[in-house]
Structure 1
Amino acid sequence: MKITEIDVFVSCPGRNFVTVRVRTDEGLTGFGDATLNGRELAVAAYLREHVAPCLIGRDPFRSEDIWHYLYRGAYWRRGPVTMAAIAGIDTALWDIKAKAAGMPLYQLLGGAARDKVLCYTHAQGREISEAVDAMGARLDQGYSAVRVQVGIPGLANVYGTGANTVTNTAADNALPPEETWSTAKYLPRIPQLFDALRAAHGDEVHLLHDSHHRLTPIEAARLGRDLEPYRLFWLEDMVPAENQEGFRLIRQHTTTPLAVGEVFNTIWDAKLLIEEQLIDYIRATCVHAGGPTALRRIMDFAGLHHVRTGCHGAADMSPICLGANLHLDLWAPNFGIQEYSGYTDEMLSVFPHAWRFADGYLHPGDAPGHGVEFDETEAAKHPYQRAFLPVNRLEDGTLWHW
């Protein structure tokens, strides 16, 4: 079997997605997600101009060799653009391999380690009372794990509480929106939120929260300690993770479980965190961490150190990424939880899928491959629109971490 064609599509059914299609001379086709939110065209150009020409004629079954060819062979390794491009190809190759075998991808990985995949969704409110009600609505939908965010008095457009976190208005010359942040206002607010959530909804539900890289290690340690009475499932992305050693200080001061890794590109981004057991959950995801080949290695390495998985699953990754994640989730011995923020009908019309949700759990389905297809005709109805994630500033104007 040989690769005969590689196509790259950028479509915007509500969000921009980069989709890779790999075709073979035996009629099998695989699909991969290569979306990098806010930098979609950079990945698309990397794939079209630098990757696709090098792979025509190669054996798609040699996915391990192709992964290293794209990683080591580029010399300039790692980085979000490179790894998203590799992920798109790698996911498509695993899709082809499983389709050729006539089985779902999780069977090629070693089979299911569980019957279904626990997932969490999002709830939010400008006020604490709104967040409490929003979480109640999620529980009514069958979820047993909910990430809850709340507005901060005196701050507009706080992460996780607005109606939209991207701009998709190319006609209006869209540029990154700017938000304002104050850690001093945030820190006392969050324990108040979780006190109200436990009082309203009891102790059985799993509660999660995302600080979105905003804190210093000592601030994160303080918040983790303040939240200990509320027994969070995890506290996520407390600090910018470039300095992995910073987690040592956090770990010394709190027993609140810690999660990080949605922006990680390789195992090297998490090596110290995992080896020293400074985190409890690794949040790397297929599209950003180099595809199933690389993510499986991260999961295995984490499992050796009592770290569980918690794959990123926001709507800025396509349903293909979620499908691939779910096959790994079903297999991984050290699985923890899967994020699932959901997709619109418009998005799902472009990506017919076999995965399913019921009663707070997901399952990848048993279709051959990773179970997610791509409707090129439907995608053509939704052309790319320039879009950006926000940027963040402190109240004095200093650019901060978004």
Structure 2
Amino acid sequence: MLASAPWASADPDALRVTAVRTFLCAPQGCPYVIVRVETNQPGLYGLGCASDPQRTRAIRSVVDDYYGPMLVGRDPSDIEDLHRLLLNSGYWRGGSIGQNALAGVDVALWDIKGKVAGLPLYQLLGGRVRQAADAYTHVDGFEAGEIAEKVLAAAEGGYRHVRVQVAVPGTDTYGTAPRDEAERRRRALRSGSWDSLGYLRHVPPVLREIRDRVGPDVELLHDAHERLAPSQARELVHEVEDARLFFLEDALAPEDAAHFGQLRAAGSVPLAVGELYHDIGMYLPLLEARVIDFARIRIPTLGGLTPTRKLVAAVELFGARTAPHGPGDVSPVGMAANLALDISSPAFGVQEAAAFREATREVFPGTPVPERGRLHPSPLPGLGVDFDESAAAKYPVTAPLEHDRWALLRNTDGSVQRP
């Protein structure tokens, strides 16, 4: 039971939480955890995204068995107070599972607040500072010419920012489609291997050639996905200088973040990091040292909008920019929360934007969809995204361990490699 608020209204008809429900569904192929906070006002509820595709059921248990029962009977307007109480309700605080569960509840409370006010969520965060949020899409391939054609096609469709991933022959490369069925099977079983030296030999020249082919008018991004040692990351920064990237993402794992100063000294390539961070305090040393240019923020993993909006303010104060995480495993509810921050923050840089399937748009009416490379906010109160429970039932999640098998990736010498 949470400590009661001394300012709580004694009016029996005052706004109260009556139920907190969770839903598991997978219209995008990856499992989503959706939280719905219901109230005593007919038709008034809020939605939140608590999606971590590797720990779906554990997160659901935290919401159903702990946070949900604690919230029943409380005033959903007291978002800051409730967030702090729920965070401190477990003595050992933080971690991805607890933070995702907390985020699902927190974003749902913000959704309710927007609906009560009759305002889009970005209006509650300070109001609009831009018309739309620039988005980036993903392309990949094996050869520079092939990838460059895809980049130019994306640019023709209105995208000014494109992430490019390069398949490395003979290695299990992040962010690229398998070449054939045999490779698809190796990846499913994680029986292939990762060759960081092969990556360093192959990828930089391909990125440089892509830049030569597409010219200067398209912003190129690349994700190393934390698969390099610090010395290798320094080499990569030096080698991709002429590719003139908009940013290089996750050149270092969170455990190696102390080496970002060396990456900064190795070249002028803008650096992005943060999608794996589960505490906003993890960004602060990097921002203070001015060694990163973009904070990759994942609202569910950071515990919701309540802490993330504070991080975004810090990003602005330190002269960096935000690049919120928005792959397919962030639901449209989570994407709408991203967009509320994108539209209201001067620190916004670019928004990763998944291509949501038709099934996903069916389950989530109001799903944000890029128009010529830009995301426009909904004018509806709250998040502007709804959830169709009956449609969601058509897309059940897979059994635990079926979606991703990150821990089976190994290096060429047989040792375990980060995902």
TM-score, structure 1 as length reference: 0.94
| Matches of 1:128 and 1:44, distance apart in 2 | 43
| Matches of 2:392 and 2:329, distance apart in 1 | 16
1:357 partner SS: coil
After the TM superposition, which of the residue ranges 361-370 and 243-252 deviates more from structure 2?
243-252
| Matches of 1:75 and 1:67, distance apart in 2 | 14
- Sort the Cα spacing of 1:244 and 1:195 in 2 relative to 1 into closer, same or farther, 3 A: closer
| Matches of 1:87 and 1:177, distance apart in 2 | 31
1:244 partner SS: helix
2:201 is matched with which residue: 171, 181, 188?
188
- Sort the Cα spacing of 1:67 and 1:359 in 2 relative to 1 into closer, same or farther, 3 A: same
Q: 1:356 Cα deviation (Å)?
A: 4.0
The aligned counterpart of 1:243 is 256
CA RMSD, 1 decimal: 1.6
State the Cα deviation string for residues 219-245 of structure 1 (Å, max 9, x = none): 111111111112110000011112321
| Matches of 1:118 and 1:374, distance apart in 2 | 25
Q: 1:179 Cα deviation (Å)?
A: 4.3
After the TM superposition, which of the residue ranges 56-65 and 387-396 deviates more from structure 2?
387-396
The aligned counterpart of 1:300 is 313
Q: 1:389 Cα deviation (Å)?
A: 4.1
2:244 is matched with which residue: 220, 231, 237?
231
1:208 partner SS: strand
Judge conservation of contact 1:179–1:393 (CA < 8 Å) in 2.
yes
| Matches of 1:100 and 1:2, distance apart in 2 | 12
The one-letter code of the counterpart of 2:174 is Y
| Matches of 2:191 and 2:265, distance apart in 1 | 34
| Matches of 2:17 and 2:295, distance apart in 1 | 33
The aligned counterpart of 1:12 is 26
- Sort the Cα spacing of 1:179 and 1:48 in 2 relative to 1 into closer, same or farther, 3 A: farther
State the Cα deviation string for residues 49-68 of structure 1 (Å, max 9, x = none): 11111110000000101110
After the TM superposition, which of the residue ranges 335-344 and 351-360 deviates more from structure 2?
351-360
Q: 1:140 Cα deviation (Å)?
A: 2.3
The one-letter code of the counterpart of 2:88 is R
The aligned counterpart of 1:82 is 98
2:46 partner SS: strand
1:161 is matched with which residue: 154, 173, 176?
176
2:110 partner SS: helix
| Matches of 2:67 and 2:199, distance apart in 1 | 44
| Matches of 1:106 and 1:176, distance apart in 2 | 43
Structure 1 residue 222 and structure 2 residue 239: aligned?
A: no
- Sort the Cα spacing of 1:175 and 1:234 in 2 relative to 1 into closer, same or farther, 3 A: closer
1:259 partner SS: strand
Unaligned runs of 5+ in 2: 1-14, 180-186
The aligned counterpart of 1:171 is none
1:3 is matched with which residue: 11, 17, 30?
17
- Sort the Cα spacing of 1:175 and 1:38 in 2 relative to 1 into closer, same or farther, 3 A: farther
After the TM superposition, which of the residue ranges 135-144 and 94-103 deviates more from structure 2?
135-144
- Sort the Cα spacing of 1:59 and 1:276 in 2 relative to 1 into closer, same or farther, 3 A: same
Mapping of 1:52-63 within 5 angstroms? Answer: 52-63=68-79
| Matches of 2:256 and 2:229, distance apart in 1 | 11
Q: 1:145 Cα deviation (Å)?
A: 0.5
The aligned counterpart of 1:336 is 349
Q: 1:371 Cα deviation (Å)?
A: 0.9
When Rg is computed on C-alpha atoms for both structures, the one with the higher figure is 2
1:209 partner SS: strand
State the Cα deviation string for residues 333-357 of structure 1 (Å, max 9, x = none): 1111100121111111111116342
Judge conservation of contact 1:35–1:287 (CA < 8 Å) in 2.
yes
Judge conservation of contact 1:34–1:287 (CA < 8 Å) in 2.
yes
The aligned counterpart of 1:168 is none
Mapping of 1:3-402 within 5 angstroms? Answer: 3-13=17-27, 14-27=29-42, 28-155=44-171, 157-162=172-177, 177-353=190-366, 355-386=368-399, 387-391=403-407, 392-402=409-419
| Matches of 1:326 and 1:389, distance apart in 2 | 30
- Count matched residues: 392
| Matches of 1:12 and 1:359, distance apart in 2 | 27
| Matches of 1:346 and 1:335, distance apart in 2 | 29
- Sort the Cα spacing of 1:315 and 1:179 in 2 relative to 1 into closer, same or farther, 3 A: farther
Judge conservation of contact 2:302–2:308 (CA < 8 Å) in 1.
yes
The one-letter code of the counterpart of 2:395 is H
TM-score, structure 2 as length reference: 0.90
Unaligned runs of 5+ in 1: 165-173
2:115 partner SS: helix
